[in-house]
């Protein structure tokens, strides 16, 4: 009897192991109405996941991108831009290198989306289709804040991908990552949605928009700009980054939600630039102590920590200390969730707010503003050269001028992606002059840079009082 029972247990273990292997290999769980261990009826849902059709369709819509770039030795450029070293007659020799990545075909006539960091500053971009045809691509527009770029090739009748809806993605849902890691064309990996609205702080401060879809699909160098698709083969994200201590895949990858991608692409095509909005406030996520203070069982909402005098929230009647609970019916429990929602909107559009103040909930309507504080759509013709600096600049107050014994100055208060950050400038730097012309206001800076091209010398200082020189290239 004992031996029979022991053998039956071994057999059961073998069957269970075989069943588990089948589940892993098939990517799902076979269903059956069966008696549970206790004799109760237990229903298991059918969830065989066949990813082959999604993979076969998607590989023909994902392209390989080769970007030719020239990079100068910025450290020496900055060093020798100091007027004291002009006698060296130093000339920087640009280094030519190639960057590789992926892209996704969005239309039959050759529009392709990729990451901004794949093609930023590229002199030439070559696109190779899955059928090995090569095309030279035109960069239609880029957006550093979302790390997206739109390309165009001269082709017709291309296979292209359909948009999905990233808002409808659920945790645990199967997804495919399709791209060209390590120049291995048409590589497909599978995983699940591990998290949503993830902020990694990798795009810089200021106006950057980060609300990534986190997956465990394997992504490596070269996958950037490739497709994240659902089981139906619809685009749900653009692969952009990995979390790794080595530079290679270590378990987590991150994609830009397709609802942001769709809006960025539309803006570039319709307006020539991406229409970012601002709500005129800073927030802090509500923690356990704050929720306990408010008597809430759930920890939710964003508390307003700063509010602009004439910003969208102030005009809607909100104050510092209020807690924002919902925007257009969607809960806002993290700054990244709010960013993702707002970056699908246009300046001048209204959003319905639900907020909390003094133990009472209330509703309000806010009109979203563009980065300059207006509600109008900004086109290419509205471009200012200072827009590409990527910084919030503030004239020096009288007290600061007296303290440092200067007549003028323009201080970098906030720094995002742009020419200043690329040159190595940090927050707190005060610009004294540009190409040896004094700068005391943004208007001064715009006037100096208006007709400039090539290298521009910036002189200024940090709070420690030491002078530093930088070079930016327009």
Q: Which two tokens stand for residue 165?
A: 């809806």
Taking only the tens place, the pLDDT of each residue in 120-135 is 889 999 999 999 999 9
CA distance 320 to 278: 16
Q: Give pLDDT, residue 33.
A: 38
Going by C-alpha positions, the residue among 296, 314, 210 that lies closest to residue 254 is 210
User: How would you class 16 by CB atoms within 10 Å of its CB: exposed for 0-12, middle for 13-18, buried for 19 or more?
Assistant: exposed
Please tell me the least confidently modeled range out of 72-76, 208-212, 382-386. Answer: 72-76
Output phi, psi for 11, to 5 deg: -60, -40
Q: Do domains 281-367 and 384-473 have the same CATH topology?
A: yes
Q: Give pLDDT, residue 65.
A: 96
CA distance 258 to 183: 24
Q: Give pLDDT, residue 455.
A: 86
Would you call 282 a catalytic residue per the annotation? no
Give this prediction's pTM. 0.72
Q: What percent of the chain has pLDDT over 70?
A: 82
Would you call 81 a catalytic residue per the annotation? no
Taking only the tens place, the pLDDT of each residue in 142-166 is 998 899 999 999 999 999 999 999 9
CATH number of 384-473: 2.30.42.10
- Which residue among the candidates 64, 81, 117, 336 is catalytic per the annotation? 117
Q: Greater confidence, 230 or 144?
A: 230
Strand partners, 174: 192
Would you call 207 a catalytic residue per the annotation? no
3-state SS class at 24? helix
Please tell me the least confidently modeled range out of 143-157, 206-220, 397-411, 437-451. Answer: 206-220
Q: Give pLDDT, residue 30.
A: 39
- Which residue among the candidates 147, 230, 322, 343 is catalytic per the annotation? 147
List the chain domain ranges: 58-274, 281-367, 384-473
CB 214 within 8 A of CB 250: no
The residues, ordered by sequence, that sit 6+ positions from 421 with a Cβ below 8 Å of its Cβ are 204, 390, 391, 415
Topology of domain 58-274 in CATH is Thrombin, subunit H (2.40.10)
- Which residue among the candidates 102, 194, 208, 224 is catalytic per the annotation? 224
CA distance 286 to 291: 7
Q: Give pLDDT, residue 116.
A: 93
- For 281-367, the fitting CATH number among 3.30.1490.190, 3.40.50.720, 3.50.50.60, 2.30.42.10 is 2.30.42.10
């Amino acid at each position: 009897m004992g031996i029979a029972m022991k053998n039956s247990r071994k057999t059961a273990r073998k069957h269970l192991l075989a069943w588990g292997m089948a589940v892993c290999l098939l990517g799902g769980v076979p269903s059956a109405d069966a008696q549970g261990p206790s004799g109760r009826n237990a229903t298991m849902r059918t969830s065989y996941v066949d990813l082959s059709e999604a993979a076969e369709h998607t590989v023909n819509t994902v392209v390989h991108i080769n970007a030719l770039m020239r990079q100068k030795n910025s450290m020496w450029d900055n060093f020798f831009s100091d007027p004291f070293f002009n006698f060296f007659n130093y000339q920087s020799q640009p280094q030519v290198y190639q960057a590789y990545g992926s892209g996704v075909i969005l239309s039959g006539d050759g529009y392709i989306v990729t990451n901004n960091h794949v093609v930023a500053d590229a002199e030439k971009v070559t696109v190779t289709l899955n059928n090995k045809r090569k095309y030279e691509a035109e960069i239609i527009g880029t957006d550093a804040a979302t790390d997206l770029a739109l390309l165009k090739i001269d082709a017709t009748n291309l296979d292209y991908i359909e948009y999905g809806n990233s808002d409808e993605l659920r945790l645990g849902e199967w997804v495919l990552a399709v791209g060209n890691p390590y120049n291995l064309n048409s590589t497909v990996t599978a995983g699940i949605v591990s998290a949503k609205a993830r902020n990694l702080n990798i795009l810089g401060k200021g106006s950057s928009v980060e609300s990534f879809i986190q997956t465990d699909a394997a992504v490596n160098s070269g996958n950037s700009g490739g497709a994240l698709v659902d089981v139906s083969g619809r685009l749900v994200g653009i692969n952009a980054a990995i979390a790794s201590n080595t530079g290679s895949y270590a378990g987590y990858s991150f994609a830009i939600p397709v609802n942001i991608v769709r809006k960025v692409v539309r803006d570039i095509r319709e307006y020539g630039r991406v229409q970012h909005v601002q709500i005129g406030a800073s927030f802090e996520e509500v923690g356990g102590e704050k929720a306990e203070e408010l008597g809430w069982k759930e920890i939710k909402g964003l508390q307003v920590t700063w509010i602009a005098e004439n910003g969208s929230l102030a005009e809607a009647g909100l104050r510092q200390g209020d807690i924002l609970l919902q925007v257009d019916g969607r809960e806002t429990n993290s700054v990244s969730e709010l960013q993702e929602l707002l970056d699908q909107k246009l300046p001048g559009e209204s959003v319905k707010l639900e907020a909390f103040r003094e133990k009472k909930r209330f509703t309000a309507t806010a009109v979203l503003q563009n980065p300059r504080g207006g509600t109008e759509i900004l086109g290419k013709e509205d471009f200012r050269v200072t827009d590409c600096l990527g910084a919030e600049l503030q004239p020096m107050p009288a007290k600061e001028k007296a303290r440092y014994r200067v007549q003028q100055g323009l201080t970098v208060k906030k720094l995002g992606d742009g020419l200043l950050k690329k040159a190595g400038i940090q927050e707190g730097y005060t610009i004294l002059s540009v190409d040896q012309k004094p700068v005391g206001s943004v208007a001064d800076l715009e006037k100096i840079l208006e007709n400039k091209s090539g290298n521009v010398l910036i002189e200024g200082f940090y709070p420690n009082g030491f002078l530093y020189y930088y070079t930016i290239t327009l």
